[in-house]
Amino acid sequence: MQMSGRPVGTVQYAQGAAPVSVDPNGTYISGQVYVQYVLLANSSRLPILFLNGGTFTGAMWETTPDGRPGWQRLFLDKGYSSYLTDAVGKGRASYAPFPEIFAAPPVFRPLEETWKLLRIGPRYTPDPAARETFPGVQFPIDHFDAFARQGVPRFPGQDSVELAAYDDLLDRIGRCIVVAQSSGGYFATLLASKRPRDIAAIVTVELTAVPDTATAGMAALAAVPQLILWGDNIPTSPMWMSNKETVRRYADAVNSRGGRVDILDLPARGVAGNSHQMMMDCNNDVLADLVAAWLDDLPDMQANPR
Amino acid sequence: MQMSGRPVGTVQYAQGAAPVSVDPNGTYISGQVYVQYVLLANSSRLPILFLNGGTFTGAMWETTPDGRPGWQRLFLDKGYSSYLTDAVGKGRASYAPFPEIFAAPPVFRPLEETWKLLRIGPRYTPDPAARETFPGVQFPIDHFDAFARQGVPRFPGQDSVELAAYDDLLDRIGRCIVVAQSSGGYFATLLASKRPRDIAAIVTVELTAVPDTATAGMAALAAVPQLILWGDNIPTSPMWMSNKETVRRYADAVNSRGGRVDILDLPARGVAGNSHQMMMDCNNDVLADLVAAWLDDLPDMQANPR
């Protein structure tokens, strides 16, 4: 991509350093995704491609803020090779000049908002002692600030760029399982609606949007088994209530076309207290076992010989 | 950190999605560094802490753009555990609202500028066939665009924040060797001037700045053995000529106080064609061997029993 017409500026990078002239005009490469992978030497299972949520990077799957194994490690232990991504514009995937190449400036989310969106509790305060949590919440609340250090800003209007990057990635890694959270879940379902042969199954944690069932490739979506997980305390949030209802209608539509979309409502199954960031919750190993059991129940999940 | 006084905005994250209200005011955590580590189960060597250059992340040490092992892997093979960092404001370390928390907006560097700064050749063009390279340059030029995808913008004015983050990191990881490139080399020498007990040795690749020898802790700097590498084609660039001369005066000053600053001028040693990004150059294994031989020659480099 080319950028032109911006003024040449002066930047002082370091204290005491001489200001240097900076010409931002020229060629940029943008729209890349960062991929970190651990491939097991001997595995008959398909690999898992993990897609991050809107304001996080692949680091969210590696570990938990209190130092326990994340889903990446838990699924490696179950025999799944893993690809972790930093989505376009986030983490090591970087971003490009805005508004010339990226459509808009980054949006920053304060911790007050993150606390509520993740359904950790009703109120965040800088003073840890004054924070309000939901009873029995499974998020490791004493380590929330360590978790917050993983947060990244989010660039709006990059959906088609992000989807194109995942398309290229699937061309490289081949048939896989996609495990995705939040806005990552939206991309997982979009990919399934276009490439059902490359996606053996989808597991989405509280996805925030779904393809439009009036226009999406419904035969494709019906061909990809999908598990959708929902945590606890949804009724505290009109936004989450609405998302959950939208997703339920999506599941019904796909299932009415012969698909298999299974909704795992954790509190209804007796698993209480899970947050939107459940892959980091204190019972993340129990949840990984539930997901693994669902995957084990699917047919045709053997990896092709490499 | 608190941010207040910004207007509540409206953001449309995805195409077709309903615009949502976004209030950016509230609490932010900033100044963190991302650290990725591979610790060998049995090693008597001190670990290496790798610090990235100004417009890259820890990914620059992992691999080369043409898929060969990077210095991380080459030094793991030599028995060194490794810590890779994404510096404050870069990659997975993220950044905070500017100018309220971070001092200034990010600076973007077009590929034309990167090509010249890295001394790959006199001229970059979007058309690969028309690019001009220095004769015998060791950078894997056919993979420059893959390399460029690793680039990240740079936030000016964050030096003291970055230094504080490395201070915290050293508190955690203990005594180590620091290997750093470009602006990372500046931080390596600053750290040595403050914490000579924690830094057993420094290896810097073409560092861009050095502590002021009139005010820095010279006894500390004299206590830390330092190797400084310079690549080829320096005389093509007044900026690099000037940097190299500044660093030579720094080395003389530290050595006159009883220090050991060794300058390894690669072309003078018969190693031709190296770029500023030499840890990715086609002879990066030869360079790693030279660095390892220098480290092997130092006294007191055994790790403490863990």
d(CA A162, CA A33): 8
* Residues in chain A closer than 8 A to B25 (CB atoms): 110
How many domains does chain B fold into? 1
Q: How many CB atoms lie within 10 A of CB A286?
A: 14
In a domain, B221, yes or no: yes
pLDDT at residue A14, as a whole number: 72
pLDDT at residue B17 is higher than 80 = no
Q: Where are the beta strands (DSSP E) in A39-129?
A: 48-51, 82-86
Question: What is the mean pLDDT of the segment spanning B91-118?
Answer: 96
Question: Chain B: nearest CA to A294, how far in angstroms?
Answer: 30
Q: Do A28 and B108 touch (CB under 8 A)?
A: yes
Question: What is the mean pLDDT of the segment spanning B20-28?
Answer: 92
Give yes or no for a contact between A139 and A281, defined as CB atoms under 8 angstroms apart. yes
pLDDT at residue B304, as a whole number: 67
Question: Chain A: nearest CA to B294, how far in angstroms?
Answer: 30
Q: Domain range spanning residue B116?
A: 34-296
Long-range (24+ apart) CB contacts under 8 A made by B132-137 are: B134/B232, B134/B233, B134/B236, B134/B273, B135/B273, B136/B232, B136/B272, B136/B273, B137/B232, B137/B233, B137/B273, B137/B275
* Residues in chain B closer than 8 A to A110 (CB atoms): 3, 23-28
By C-alpha distance, the chain B residue nearest A6 is: B108
Of B3, B22, B92, the CB nearest to A91: B92
Q: Do B91 and A95 touch (CB under 8 A)?
A: no
Query: Per residue in A153-207, pLDDT tens?
Result: 999 989 999 999 999 999 999 999 999 999 999 999 999 999 999 999 999 999 9
Q: Do A109 and B160 touch (CB under 8 A)?
A: no
Q: What is the ipTM of this complex?
A: 0.95
d(CA A206, CA A231): 8
Of A13, A29, A154, the CB nearest to B148: A29
Of B17, B24, B157, the CB nearest to A108: B24
pLDDT at residue A72 is higher than 90 = yes
Q: Which of A29, A30, A155 is the best residue to mutate to test the B interface, defined by the most B CB atoms within 10 Å of its own CB? A: A29
* Residues in chain B closer than 8 A to A32 (CB atoms): 149
pLDDT at residue A16, as a whole number: 64
d(CA B184, CA A3): 28
Give yes or no for a contact between B5 and B25, defined as CB atoms under 8 angstroms apart. yes
Q: Do A91 and B91 touch (CB under 8 A)?
A: yes
* Phi, psi at B230, each rounded to 5°: -125, 135
Q: How confident is the model at residue B70 (pLDDT cuts 50, 70, 90)?
A: very high
Query: Per residue in A103-158, pLDDT tens?
Result: 999 999 999 999 999 999 999 999 999 999 999 999 999 999 999 999 999 999 89
pLDDT at residue B305, as a whole number: 53
d(CA A252, CA A259): 9
* Residues in chain A closer than 8 A to B32 (CB atoms): 149
Please list, residue by residue across B232-271, b when 16 or more beta carbons sit within 10 angstroms of its beta carbon and e when fewer do: bbbeeeeebeebbeebeebbebbbeeebebebbebeeeeb
Q: Do B152 and A212 touch (CB under 8 A)?
A: no
d(CA A52, CA A72): 12
In a domain, A186, yes or no: yes
Beta bridge partners of B10: B21
Compute the count of residue pairs across chains A and B with CB atoms less than 8 Å apart. 140
Question: What is the mean pLDDT of the segment spanning A265-274?
Answer: 98
In this structure, what token pair is assigned to residue A223? 């061909």
Q: How confident is the model at residue A304 (pLDDT cuts 50, 70, 90)?
A: low
Q: Do A110 and B29 touch (CB under 8 A)?
A: no
Cis peptide before B24 (omega within 30 of 0): no
* Residues in chain A closer than 8 A to B1 (CB atoms): none
d(CA B163, CA A274): 37
Q: Which of A108, A115, A213, A246 is the best residue to mutate to test the B interface, defined by the most B CB atoms within 10 Å of its own CB? A: A108
Q: Which of B6, B10, B94 is the best residue to mutate to test the A interface, defined by the most A CB atoms within 10 Å of its own CB? A: B94
Q: Where are the beta strands (DSSP E) in chain A?
A: 2-3, 9-11, 20-22, 26-27, 34-38, 48-51, 82-86, 176-181, 199-205, 226-230, 261-265
pLDDT at residue B14, as a whole number: 72
Q: Is A152 exposed, middle or buried (0-12, 13-18, 19+ CB in 10 A)?
A: buried
Q: What 3-state class would DSSP assign to A91?
A: helix
Query: Per residue in B121-147, pLDDT tens?
Result: 999 999 999 999 999 999 999 999 999
The single-letter code of the amino acid at A139 is F
Query: Per residue in B202-238, pLDDT tens?
Result: 999 999 999 999 999 999 999 999 999 999 999 999 9
In a domain, B173, yes or no: yes
Q: How far is CA B55 from CA A43, A108, A267, B109, in A?
A: 37, 22, 46, 8
pLDDT at residue B20, as a whole number: 83
Of B95, B107, B113, the CB nearest to A26: B113
Beta bridge partners of B216: none
Question: Chain A: nearest CA to B188, how far in angstroms?
Answer: 15
pLDDT at residue B16, as a whole number: 64
Dihedral in degrees, nearest 10, Cα atoms B290, B293, B299, B304 = 100
Q: How confident is the model at residue A305 (pLDDT cuts 50, 70, 90)?
A: low
Q: Do B109 and A22 touch (CB under 8 A)?
A: yes
In a domain, B205, yes or no: yes
Of A107, A113, A150, the CB nearest to B11: A107
Give yes or no for a contact between B213 and B247, defined as CB atoms under 8 angstroms apart. no
* Phi, psi at A141, each rounded to 5°: -60, -30
pLDDT at residue B13, as a whole number: 77
Sorted by sequence, the CB contacts under 8 Å of residue A145 that are 6+ apart come out as A128, B29
In a domain, A123, yes or no: yes
In a domain, A7, yes or no: no
Sorted by sequence, the CB contacts under 8 Å of residue A247 that are 6+ apart come out as A207, A210, A228, A263
By C-alpha distance, the chain A residue nearest B126 is: A27
Query: What's the whole-number average pLDDT of chain B?
Result: 95
* Phi, psi at A98, each rounded to 5°: -120, 145
Of A14, A22, A104, the CB nearest to B209: A14
Of B9, B26, B209, the CB nearest to A111: B26
In a domain, A151, yes or no: yes
Give yes or no for a contact between A19 and A151, defined as CB atoms under 8 angstroms apart. no
In a domain, A291, yes or no: yes
d(CA A45, CA A57): 25
Could you tell me the CATH number of the domain that includes residue A53? 3.40.50.1820
